[in-house]
């Protein structure tokens, strides 16, 4: 049985499949998130309850289901040889990206690994743009020239899509530095989040980025999407320290149930508030799971068995969790959810058909978007008004001679 129902006074309380309770407060529902968080080196913690309205929950479900259908479609198109090269799918991890994006806003910078299709979709993209990019067509998000691992959307502060393991994290620290640098002193800063997998967590460049972020108190979120396997190797075999949220040593950390989109949203609200207020960076570990292999060339069953995947699907699937919340909160009926799924499947299919009608990039376009068109400042001034120039009086060298 997926749930049991209790009555307490005038409140209708439901025990969810995750053994958590929630109750109606009118147009919204309060969810109990007890057990969803673990903290490191922190005196406070994320709230163990969160309020969610019908519209908010429906929007999360629709985005997550669109992600799921898009990735399943990419799987089929890859097998049909319409998508070539590398292709890393995100199904199973939809709650992580969706919850993060619910907590952040578009002033915050987002950069991630090569498992980036769904983040590109949520950060200003469409299924057509994502799939066309995978086909290598000019209607793609980067005009067919980036491919699976290099999505990008500057307008929405989404910086990719990085093909090298862990390379996005120091770039993310650079984005955090820019956010701090461009924020007038005393004001809250936009944050930057750099997402990477457990397999990248021991990269040296991440340690260096964390050191600088801590020294300069950058608004940087080091987000480990722990899907339990680094390529084809379990976390117990590839990392001597698998409590990834503690890997920042003195840098505070939070571990979040990454299969519960509400926990991700509430946890990331806490993290953003901490980092944006000038207290420095934070490590975040999302406990999640990928259903596909590491990439399309990996069947995903040589280092784990099918029973493990099936068990996770049946007990912890992030989509089923959201659907259950909608039904139990009386925000939707099972039939309404089926109709929504049918509508989304049809829309994804239609956008894929439109993507296939796009053309390949022209040869001339291959030489565009490489160099800056001009070096004129867009803001009208060379530096922001609060520029912090060097204090030459404190410099070791004065007038070419040591002090």
Tens-digit pLDDT profile for residues 212-230 = 999 999 999 999 999 999 9
- Is residue 391 a part of any domain in this protein? no
Q: DSSP per residue over 157-225, as a string?
A: TB----SSTTTHHHHHHHHHHHHHHTSPTTSPPPPEEEEEEGGGTT-HHHHHHHHHHHHTT--EEEEEE
Greater confidence (393 vs 64) lies with 64
Give the distance, in angstroms, between the CA of residue 135 and the centroid of all CA atoms in the same chain: 23
Confirm if 67 and 91 have CB atoms less than 8 A apart.
yes
Q: Residue 134: helix, strand or coil by DSSP?
A: helix
Q: Which residues contact 259 (CB under 8 A, 6 or more apart)?
A: 95, 287, 288, 289, 316, 317, 318, 321
- Is residue 277 a part of any domain in this protein? yes
Distance, in Å, from the CA atom of 52 to the CA atom of 59, rounded to the nearest integer, reads 11
- Is residue 223 a part of any domain in this protein? yes
Q: DSSP per residue over 235-263, as a string?
A: HHHH-S---GGGTTTTS-EEEEETT-HHH
Q: What is the pLDDT of residue 12?
A: 31
Q: What is the pLDDT of residue 375?
A: 63
Q: What is the pLDDT of residue 369?
A: 79
Q: Which residues contact 182 (CB under 8 A, 6 or more apart)?
A: 384
- Is residue 326 a part of any domain in this protein? yes
**What is the enclosing helix (H) or strand (E) of 39?**
strand 37-40
- Is residue 214 a part of any domain in this protein? yes
Domain carrying residue 73? 35-367
CATH number at residue 153: 3.40.50.970
Tell me the per-residue pLDDT of 295-312, one tens digit each, with 9 for 90 and over: 999 999 999 999 999 999
Confirm if 148 and 91 have CB atoms less than 8 A apart.
no
Residue 174 pLDDT greater than 70, yes or no: yes
Report percent pLDDT > 70 for the chain: 86
Q: Are strands 109-111 and 49-53 parallel, antiparallel or unpaired?
A: unpaired
- Is residue 24 a part of any domain in this protein? no
Residue 245 pLDDT greater than 90, yes or no: yes
Given pLDDT bands bounded at 50, 70 and 90, which one contains residue 377? low
* pTM recorded for the entire structure: 0.88
Greater confidence (188 vs 186) lies with 188
What the block records as the tokens of 385 is: 């008004």
Residue 37 pLDDT greater than 90, yes or no: yes
Q: What is the pLDDT of residue 386?
A: 62
- Is residue 389 a part of any domain in this protein? no
Q: What is the pLDDT of residue 20?
A: 52
Tell me the per-residue pLDDT of 322-339, one tens digit each, with 9 for 90 and over: 999 999 999 999 999 999
Greater confidence (7 vs 153) lies with 153
Confirm if 51 and 27 have CB atoms less than 8 A apart.
no
- Is residue 69 a part of any domain in this protein? yes
Confirm if 281 and 222 have CB atoms less than 8 A apart.
yes
Which DSSP state fits 266? H
Instruction: Map tokens 């997998």 to a residue.
Output: 197
Number of domains in the chain: 1
């Amino acid at each position: 049985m997926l749930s049991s129902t209790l009555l307490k006074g005038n409140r209708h309380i439901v025990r969810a499949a995750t053994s958590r309770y929630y109750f109606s407060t009118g147009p919204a529902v309060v969810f109990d998130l007890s057990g969803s968080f673990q903290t490191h080196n922190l005196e406070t913690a994320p709230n163990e309850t969160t309020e969610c309205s019908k519209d908010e929950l429906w929007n999360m479900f629709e985005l997550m289901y669109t992600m799921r259908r898009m990735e399943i479609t990419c799987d089929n198109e890859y097998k049909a040889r319409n998508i070539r090269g590398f292709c890393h799918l995100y199904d199973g991890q939809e709650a992580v990206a969706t919850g993060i994006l619910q907590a952040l806003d578009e002033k915050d910078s987002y950069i991630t690994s090569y498992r980036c299709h769904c983040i590109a979709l949520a950060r200003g993209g469409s299924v057509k743009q994502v799939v066309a990019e995978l086909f290598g067509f000019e209607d793609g998000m980067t005009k067919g020239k980036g491919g699976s691992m290099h999505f990008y959307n500057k307008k929405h502060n989404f910086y990719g899509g990085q093909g090298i393991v862990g390379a996005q994290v120091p770039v993310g620290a650079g984005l955090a530095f820019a956010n701090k640098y461009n924020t007038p002193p005393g004001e809250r800063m936009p944050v930057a989040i750099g997402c990477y997998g457990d397999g990248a967590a021991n990269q040296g460049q991440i340690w260096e980025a964390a050191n600088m972020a801590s020294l300069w108190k950058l608004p940087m979120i080091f987000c480990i999407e722990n899907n339990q396997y680094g390529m084809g190797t379990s976390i117990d075999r590839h990392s001597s320290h698998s409590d990834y949220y503690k890997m920042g040593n003195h840098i505070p950390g939070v571990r979040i149930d990454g299969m519960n989109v509400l926990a991700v949203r509430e946890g990331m609200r806490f993290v953003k508030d901490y980092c944006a207020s000038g207290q420095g960076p934070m490590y975040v570990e999302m406990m999640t799971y990928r259903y596909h292999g590491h990439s399309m060339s990996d069947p995903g069953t040589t280092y784990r068995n099918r029973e493990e995947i099936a068990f996770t699907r049946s007990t912890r699937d992030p989509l089923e969790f959201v659907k259950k919340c909608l039904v139990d909160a009386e925000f939707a009926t099972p039939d309404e959810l089926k109709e929504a799924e049918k509508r989304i499947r049809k829309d994804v299919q239609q956008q894929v058909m439109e993507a296939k009608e796009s053309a390949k990039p022209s040869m001339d376009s291959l030489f565009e978007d490489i160099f800056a068109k001009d070096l004129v400042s867009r803001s009208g001034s060379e530096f922001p008004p609060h520029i912090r120039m060097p204090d030459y009086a404190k410099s070791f060298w004065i007038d070419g001679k040591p002090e």
